Structures are given as structure tokens and as C-alpha cells.
């Protein structure tokens, strides 16, 4: 089974060809500008969120941040799921 595209209907008139090329370039240009605007909005939004997060962390007192973390111990509760078998990833 072969997939065959229909014959393209290119305009024979030189002015029609030039106008179609210009129209295609204009569409590509609009899409590129739209993409750059979206990328700029995402970049500015990310920078604003980062600045807000940094501002909130700087507003906290340093003693409260240091006192709330203990790096020596990890607390948690653990439950043995299967007694007789090891984990599937351990060999």
C-alpha cells in the first residue's frame, strides 16, 4: 500500500506566487513573535515568583530558621510490608 499525496496546486502567476510566499513568511513571523511573547511572560513570571519567595524567606528571622531544622536525626515511622522477602530492587 502506497501513500500518495495529491498533486500540489502551485499558482502559475508570478504575482500569486510572490504573494503566497509573503503570506507564508508573515504567518511564520506572527507565530515566532507570539512564541517570544509567551516565553517572555513565562520568564518574567518565574522571576517574580522567585523574587517573592526570596523576599518571604528574608523576612523570617534567621534564628527561627536555624532552630527549626535538626540535621543530625531523621524522624519517621516505618512499617515492614513483607517479612520474608527482600525488596524487589535489592540483589
Geometric angle at alpha carbon 73, from 82 and 84, rounded to 5°: 10
Q: Where are the domains of the chain?
A: 14-68
Q: What is the CA 84 to chain-centroid distance, rounded?
A: 44
User: Rounded mean pLDDT of the chain?
Assistant: 82
Question: So what's the pLDDT on residue 90?
Answer: 53
What pLDDT score was predicted for residue 26? 98
d(CA 46, CA 50): 6
- Sign of the torsion formed by the C-alpha atoms of 32, 35, 41 and 42: negative
The cell numbers describing 31, all together, are 507565530
pTM for the structure as a whole = 0.50
Contact 6/15 with Cβ under 8 angstroms?
A: no
Amino acid at each position: 500500500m502506497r501513500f500518495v499525496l495529491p498533486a500540489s496546486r502551485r499558482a502559475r502567476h508570478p504575482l500569486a506566487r510572490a504573494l503566497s510566499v509573503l503570506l507564508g513568511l508573515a504567518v511564520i513571523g506572527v507565530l515566532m513573535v507570539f512564541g517570544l511573547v509567551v516565553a517572555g511572560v513565562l520568564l518574567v513570571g518565574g522571576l517574580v515568583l522567585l523574587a517573592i519567595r526570596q523576599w518571604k524567606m528574608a523576612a523570617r528571622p534567621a534564628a527561627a530558621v536555624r532552630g527549626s531544622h535538626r540535621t543530625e536525626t531523621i524522624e519517621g515511622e516505618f512499617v515492614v510490608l513483607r517479612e520474608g522477602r527482600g525488596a524487589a530492587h535489592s540483589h
